[in-house]
Structure 1
């Protein structure tokens, strides 16, 4: 399997500049087609308007969002004009609550979605809605790019987070093109259960599977010496000079992770290198 259709969703040309650069570079590396969806956000909140005003204000908000989408599409077309890859740009208008429909329709027929970090101080509900729509409704793997350090160079040294879950295995299978091209792949197993199916050889069966695909792997069994699993994984990525992490997304419910926190949310919020994830 290779990535032949890559999707990235843009709501702000300036904010998404690094995201588009990374998507273009990956499409060139994979000889893939890049789809770019430009969305104008309709900020209408009808329930907050007084009676009689909602129809007028709703139309004004829609017209403004449509104009934003048009300007955004034009800016992206100008940005892509000189590129030597296959690409297409489309635009849409959506309220935040309905953005999942537009994103998931394209994500379903894409091999990979590229987007910037959906959580953190500088992120907003739009990015969160886009990423979750791609993962859950579109059933597509997502490459999450860090905001603090925009980069298009990644995939040479990869850490794979392995906890024997279905989500982790799906992410690993979907990431095979990147894993096969990497110079170093480290399978990180944190506090493996003493009575689990891999108790005598944590990560061994996964390493064997990947080696048959030509992936050069090592296995690191790590103790949970920090309060959160995500902290251990991020520290290990720094210690091994990794430039990409592959991990499953949301083994718990999104609601639980939003309220209580969880490994997926903490990783997507705090990682300083790209994360490839799937659900």
Structure 2
């Protein structure tokens, strides 16, 4: 797999500038085109039985103007950063649910950059869960202030022998080739450590055939939560990227994430590449 087109969310969260900078770094390293995506949905108009007829139209107009202004500000910020970095760019801007716009635009992209959970979602910024579960593309969740760049630093692959882990590892190959090396980690009960070591050795060998220097390590499960074990090990390795499958299930019309996936999204201070 190669990455030739990146989408980056231009939502107005506190990490937008850092996300734009990283997107430009990745576009340069991967020789990829960078497309900014700005979207803002209209929030529900408050209803009042006495004033509804007179006020609803005015409020709708006001909300639309505010949404259009936010999209315009996102575009200006994106184009300013991209121009300074001489990146090849494009722009998509709409007054619509942000995750819906990103997921549709993913048809012409290889990787999507979004913020982690924050107070702009879901109307002013894309919910990362909706993008991970709906885009059909790998998603790089960028914290507001990443501790390190995923380029030139060790990468951690949080492995569980599953479809989701295999998809995430394959999708991450272009970034893993830009990392210093890769560490394949699994957390499992002690009685499953032997089989886990065999599985991880297979993954490390596969990465090696793709030109990625890789090692493997099994962490025996203890009282510390799995996500925290993975994050602490990534910190100890001075990693810049964590790669993980996204696990969850559909409850009525909403995706409910598994505990490890949810904790990684909430707590990681490193860039987190997820696929489902």
Instruction: Tell whether the structures are fold-level matches, with TM greater than 0.5.
Output: yes
The Cα of 1:199 is off from its aligned counterpart by: 5.2
The residue number in structure 2 matching 1:40 is: 40
Question: 8 Å contact 2:11–2:126 — kept in the other structure?
Answer: no
Distance 1:127 1:245, change over 3 A: farther
Q: Secondary structure at the match of 1:175?
A: helix
The Cα of 1:146 is off from its aligned counterpart by: 1.8
Distance 1:157 1:70, change over 3 A: same
C-alpha separation between the residues in 2 aligned to 1:23 and 1:148?
A: 14
Question: 8 Å contact 1:193–1:199 — kept in the other structure?
Answer: no
C-alpha separation between the residues in 2 aligned to 1:264 and 1:167?
A: 11
Distance 1:256 1:229, change over 3 A: farther
**Structure 1 unpaired stretches of 5+:** none
Distance 1:151 1:188, change over 3 A: closer
Question: 8 Å contact 2:152–2:178 — kept in the other structure?
Answer: yes
C-alpha separation between the residues in 1 aligned to 2:255 and 2:90?
A: 37
C-alpha separation between the residues in 2 aligned to 1:200 and 1:188?
A: 10
Q: Secondary structure at the match of 2:160?
A: coil
After superposition, the C-alpha distances for 1:154-174 in whole angstroms (9 at most, x for unaligned) are 452011111101111100000
After superposition, the C-alpha distances for 1:196-219 in whole angstroms (9 at most, x for unaligned) are 994572412212221211221111
Question: 8 Å contact 1:117–1:269 — kept in the other structure?
Answer: yes
Distance 1:197 1:42, change over 3 A: farther
The Cα of 1:141 is off from its aligned counterpart by: 0.7
**Alignment length (residue pairs):** 271
C-alpha separation between the residues in 2 aligned to 1:142 and 1:191?
A: 26
The residue number in structure 2 matching 1:103 is: 102
The residue number in structure 1 matching 2:24 is: 24
C-alpha separation between the residues in 2 aligned to 1:18 and 1:150?
A: 11
Alignment of 1:61-210 (within 5 A): 61-94=63-96, 98-118=97-117, 124-126=121-123, 129-149=126-146, 151-152=148-149, 154-191=151-188, 194=191, 198=195, 201-210=198-207
**Structure 2 unpaired stretches of 5+:** none
C-alpha separation between the residues in 1 aligned to 2:41 and 2:125?
A: 14
C-alpha separation between the residues in 1 aligned to 2:152 and 2:225?
A: 25
Q: Give me the TM-score of the superposition, normalised by structure 2.
A: 0.86
The Cα of 1:276 is off from its aligned counterpart by: 1.0
Distance 1:193 1:251, change over 3 A: farther
Moved more, 153-162 or 50-59: 50-59
After superposition, the C-alpha distances for 1:48-103 in whole angstroms (9 at most, x for unaligned) are 44432333322221122113322332333233223322111232112xxx333211
C-alpha separation between the residues in 2 aligned to 1:12 and 1:219?
A: 38
Moved more, 27-36 or 248-257: 248-257
C-alpha separation between the residues in 1 aligned to 2:217 and 2:22?
A: 29
C-alpha separation between the residues in 1 aligned to 2:149 and 2:64?
A: 35
Q: Secondary structure at the match of 1:42?
A: coil
The Cα of 1:115 is off from its aligned counterpart by: 1.7
Q: Secondary structure at the match of 1:35?
A: strand
Distance 1:89 1:199, change over 3 A: closer
